[in-house]
Homo-oligomer: A and B are copies of this chain.
Amino acid sequence: VSEKKTSRPSEFDLIAGLFAPLAKAPGAYGLRDDAAAISPRKGHELIVTTDALVEGVHFLPGDPPETVARKALRVNLSDLAAKGAAPVGYFLALSLPARLPYAWLKAFASGLGRDQKTFCVSLMGGDTTSTPGPLTLAITAVGSAPRGRMIRRAGAKPGHDVFVTGTIGDAGAGLEILSTRAGREARTAASVQKLINRYRLPTPRLKFGQALRNVASAALDVSDGLIADLGHIAEVSGVRIAIEAEKIPRSSALRAMWGDGIEAIVRAATSGDDYEITFTAAPGRAVAAAAKKAGVRVTRIGRVEKGAGVQLLGGTGEIAVSRAGYIHF
């Protein structure tokens, strides 16, 4: 029994050649089965999250395949990080346009391999299909956390402080640079490269997320925009979150590009794709200790109050924000 040969390797050759070498975990069976077997270690449970990325929506057609792969993996690991989970493995559903060259897929798989090493995670299974549309990929990431200790969105209480890791707005500025003519002309400066890199290659705060397990009362990662994402915590926790605009941490590269006024702050707070962790915690020294332990910069940006919604506070009172973050539709 022979199979029809086409110019591009078949699904089976793709899996064997590019993806099977990434599936080293015992339960992945080298992708030579229909399913993977996963057990949490004693006293732990599995934490599972899924995110889809579409060419032209979540990444740009010209983005390097290596960073497309690594970003797809990292945005899922970022969800695990914000929940206090340690990554275990991931599943990859790939829908590929016929025009996609083999070299693109090879670089894509190489990007996955590189980040697997960085984050101690293994491909556990997947599916490849063809599509007449844009390249679409869905990753389902599996992590592990002590049973019942996943950091939830619900749990913020009036009197708690609000924090965020790293700096906010860089990825949005990076996307702007990649999408506009002005951006293309400015691409040479080192600070501009830094912003592009924040868009293409977010850093999941895995070590810090695990350090937050017994510290944070609520947490999530900033994907839609700081204000929009804090809105999710406010809604599910049944509280108001008041943010001091001036305290939102911004990089010098971002200040150089967008300036330092209130409009620039609002823009940073409503940009997506930062993949920092924003969280709430009872006042005390635990947050600073966790930040030191993980080597991560953490900034207190506001407080939790009775009420509902997110307030952005400037020198003269509340600042109106018309666009809380990236709207998916």
Chain A interfacial positions (CB closer than 8 Å to B): 1-4, 6, 8-11, 27, 29, 32-40, 45-54, 56-58, 79-80, 82-83, 85, 91-96, 98, 124-134, 136, 138, 140, 142-143, 145, 147-148, 150, 152-154, 220-221, 227-228, 231, 236, 309-312, 321-324, 327-329
Contact = CB atoms under 8 A, between A and B. Distances in A.
Given A48-B142, A52-B127, 10 more contacts: A1-B227, A1-B312, A3-B228, A8-B329, A33-B154, A34-B49, A49-B91, A50-B126, A50-B127, A50-B140
Contact of A125 (B49, B52, B125): B49
B48 A38 contact: yes
A37 B312 contact: no
Residue with the greatest number of chain B CB neighbours at <10 A, chosen from A29, A39, A93:
A93
Contacts of A47: 35-37
Contacts of A33: 83, 150, 152-154, 220, 236
Given A93-B138, A129-B57, A138-B52, A147 B34 contact: no
A27 B145 CA distance: 13
B37 A133 contact: no
Given A57-B132, A324-B2, A93 B34 contact: no
Contacts of A154: 29, 32-33
A3 B80 CA distance: 27
A-B pairs with lowest CB-CB distance, top 9: A133-B133, A93-B138, A138-B138, A11-B328, A52-B93, A35-B49, A140-B140, A39-B45, A50-B91
A284 B50 CA distance: 43
Contacts of A310: 1
A323 B132 contact: no
B134 A328 contact: no
A166 to B, nearest CB: 18
11 contacts: A1-B309, A3-B323, A10-B327, A27-B45, A34-B82, A35-B85, A37-B45, A51-B93, A52-B129, A96-B329, A133-B134
Contacts of A40: 39-40
Given A1-B310, A131-B134, A49 B36 contact: yes
B51 A35 contact: no
A4 B126 contact: no
A184 B88 CA distance: 49
Contact of A50 (B82, B125, B145, B221): B125
Contacts of A85: 35
Nearest to A11: B328
B328 A130 contact: yes
B32 A37 contact: no
